Amino acid sequence: MSKTLLDSVFNGGRSSRNGDLVVVMLPSQSFVTSAQEFMQAQQWARSKQSNGFPNRDRAAFIERFDTLVARNGAGVATRGHPKVLKRMVALMEQQGMAMEDWMIPRFVDDEIKRKEKPEDEAEAPAAAPDPDSPKLPQD
């Protein structure tokens, strides 16, 4: 019996679902994608036969993903719509993933930092006048 593309892709790899995200770890490639997108690619890969070349099978499988956040040095690039990537990165942070391990595009990283900055400024109390300071005469 011949192997399916999915069997070929995950030979030596694994995936783990964490809520709405799936972390896919393949030989020399690792990325995070949405659970829904992973299930669609998984169903597609189950229906295809392996061509006998695991690297080509992995490349064909990864091409099926529209949105993914790649691990540094993974041999695949982060891609997807900016809003979806921002949501995925926020979920990754909530789950305690180390962000420095992932290739997060600058525009997503800058947007997250920009959102954090106003909150920090808003929480700082306004400087109250010192009751011991002398009052200036008004004209």
Per-residue pLDDT of the chain (139 residues; tens, 9 = 90+): 478 999 999 988 999 999 899 999 998 889 999 999 999 999 999 999 998 898 999 999 999 999 999 999 888 899 999 899 999 999 999 999 988 899 988 877 676 666 666 555 555 555 555 556 556 556 5
Asked whether residue 29 is domain-assigned, the answer is yes
Asked whether residue 123 is domain-assigned, the answer is no
The domain total for the chain is 1
Rg for the chain (alpha carbons), in Å? 23
Find the domain containing 32 and state its range. Answer: 5-106
pLDDT of residue 36: 96
* Burial (0-12, 13-18, 19+ Cβ within 10 Å), 97: middle
Distance, CA of 124 to CA of 87 (rounded, Å):
27
Asked whether residue 74 is domain-assigned, the answer is yes
pLDDT of residue 49: 95
| Bridge pairing between strands 21-26 and 14-18 | antiparallel
pLDDT of residue 37: 96
pTM: 0.74
pLDDT of residue 75: 84
Torsion over CA: 102, 67, 94, 112 (sign): positive
116 φ/ψ angles, rounded to the nearest 5 degrees: -70, -35
pLDDT of residue 27: 86
Asked whether residue 35 is domain-assigned, the answer is yes
Asked whether residue 16 is domain-assigned, the answer is yes
Q: What is the C-alpha end-to-end distance of the chain, expressed in Å?
A: 97
